[in-house]
Amino acid sequence: MVEDKAIAKLERLLPAGRISTHEVDRVTYSYDATGEKYMPAAVVFPETEGEVTEILAVASEFKIPVIPRGAGTGLSGGSVPVKAGLVVSTERMTQILDIDEEELLAVVEPGVVTGELHRAVEARGLFYPPDPASLDFCTIGGNIAENAGGLRAVKYGVTRDYVRALRFALPEGEVFSAGVRTVKGVVGYDLVTIMVGSEGTLGFITQATLKLLPKPETKITIAAYFASYVSAAKAVAGIIARKILPATLEFIDRQCLMCVKEATGMEFPEDAMALLLIEDDGFEEVVKRSASAIKEALASENALHIQEAGDAAAAEKLWKARRVISPSLAYIAPHKMNEDVTVPRKKLPELIAAVEGIASRYNVRCASFGHAGDGNIHVNFLYDKRNNDEVQRVKEAVKALMEVVVQLGGTISGEHGIGLAKKDYIGIEIGPEGIEIMKRIKNAFDPHGIMNPGKIFPDTLVG
């Protein structure tokens, strides 16, 4: 077997304990948070950039797949070894190499946990805004590979907006350094942007230089309940119309509230159909003004109840509710298709109405929550894998949702990436020409197609 030869060579080249072919490791690196499972041939734990390049060179020589993996918390199957090969984990590349307070930069290895970076920079009065819900356990490398979003994206943008420079290993084993440490820089193509969100299909990120901001002085958290989805969506528009751009503006529907209640014991008003969770940050005077404008906007859409968190603990309680939604949907049904469709903000009411229509047309269970402020709604179709008929209906519902989203001028994936989960739908959004040009780029970086094969591009079009 060609894989055995590659593994034997790696065992010779790498220091002891870097590679495992034991079934204990192969099983535990067969999945991510999507529930898809495929066993890799081996798992590799490089500790340095040099080791990463050696792994890639050997993989290239023997033409076997390399699947970069951070914490395996992705929601699109990005780190699932669908074509076996080597899962290369960044769990031993976890150094924060530098925090530059003058240039407002952090230089990190890919395995740094996002929440740890948050704590490290905040201790110095600095701020790294991207905050995916899994920030306590996901890694920066994974965030970059998937271009992770998060709750604060409304005001602060997504991971791409904070990556200044990257070092990455290419499949042939050479290391490339792209981007600049400065605010400005226009030398040639923007390879950083190509790498961000490339889902491990172009190269292996070994180091990232990230942009930081000064840490906002204070923040306010407001919760508002509404008797209908539409009035909640209108309140979002009302806030923006008042020229306020809050840090976060989250939408949570009734089904999700019920799951949170089940998971945490938190109580919500009986007649609430939707909850908006809003946070703004900045200087105290500014935040006060935006709080009153936000409350005015909420009241004018007849919010049932408006609640401002008095202190950090009360705010944390509200945010905890938000964070447990995704996994707690298992209370409704054991499996879910967690979509991360995104539409222009003003189309939100149309999207929400369309989702209701799709759910009833295909007779599927559905729960929605997400980042209303940036038009990114997590529509979850809930089902039981063992019910074949339901699985089929959910698949049709997902396809219908994708079509609606593109018609509304939106995108089929706002922050999870395509991976395995959405590769069949990518054509709906970018068409065959889009796929073709992306494949040409892929080819330029990875001529043998060893980097994370089986992702992004639909099988039917892949040679």
Q: Provide the binding-site residues for another protein, judged by CB under 8 A.
A: 22-25, 27-33, 35, 43, 45, 71-73, 89, 91-92, 94, 115, 134, 136-138, 263, 323-324, 326-328, 330, 334
Q: Which is nearer to another protein, 23 or 98 (CB)?
A: 23
For another protein, the closer of residues 298 and 324 by Cβ is 324
Considering the complex, state which of residue 323 and residue 399 has its C-beta at the smaller distance from another protein: 323
Q: Judged by CB, which is closer to another protein: 43, or 56?
A: 43
Least Cα distance to 234 among 276, 269, 268, 272 occurs for 276
Smallest distance from the beta carbon of 115 to another protein, in angstroms? Answer: 8
The one-character DSSP state at 424 is G
Q: Residue 301 or 390: which CB sits closer to another protein?
A: 390
Give whichever of 95 and 443 is closer to another protein, judged by the CB atom.
95
Q: Tell me how far, at minimum, the Cβ of 77 lies from another protein, in Å.
A: 12
Which of these, 106, 41, 111, lies nearest to 72 by C-alpha position? 111
Closest distance of CB 335 from another protein, Å = 8
Task: Identify any residues that bridge with 279 across adjacent strands, giving them in sequence order.
Answer: 221, 248
Output the smallest distance, CB 458 to another protein, in A: 25
**Alpha-carbon gap, residue 10 to 59, rounded angstroms:** 9
**Residue 119 CB, nearest distance to another protein (Å)?**
12
Residue 110 has a CB neighbour count (10 Å cut-off) of 28
- Cα angle value 370/217/316 (rounded, 5°): 40
Residue type, 352: I
Of residues 91 and 350, the one with the C-beta less far from another protein: 91
Q: Which residues contact 157 (CB under 8 A, 6 or more apart)?
A: 129, 130
Q: How far is the CB of 298 from another protein (least distance, A)?
A: 28
Half-sphere exposure of 41 (CA within 13 A, CB side): 18
Under 8 Å CB-to-CB from 360, ≥6 apart: which residues? none
Phi/psi for 230 (5° steps) reads -65, -40
Decide if 42 contacts 7 (C-beta within 8 A): yes
Do residues 76 and 422 touch, judged by C-beta distance below 8 A?
yes
Cβ at position 403, least distance to another protein in Å: 27
Instruction: Output the CA angle 299-301-305, nearest 5 degrees.
Output: 50
C-alpha separations of 345 from 177, 251, 350, 352 in Å: 36, 12, 10, 12
Helix (H) or strand (E) holding 313: helix 312-328
Shortest reach from residue 381's CB to another protein, in Å: 15
CB of 354 to another protein, least distance (A): 26
Of 121 and 321, which has the nearer Cβ to another protein?
321
What SS3 class is residue 98? Answer: strand
Alpha-carbon distance 253 to 221, whole Å?
18
Alpha carbon separation from 173 to 16, 48, 435 (Å, rounded)? 21, 13, 26
Please say which residue, 159 or 326, places its beta carbon nearer to another protein: 326
First CA to last CA across the chain, in angstroms?
A: 23
The conformation of residue 267, written as its DSSP 8-state character, comes to -
Q: Minimum CB separation from another protein for residue 33, in Å? A: 5
Is 405 in contact with 341 (CB distance < 8 Å)?
yes
Choose between 138 and 372: whose C-beta lies nearer to another protein: 138
Nearer residue to another protein within complex by CB, 61 or 136 = 136
CB of 79 to another protein, least distance (A): 11
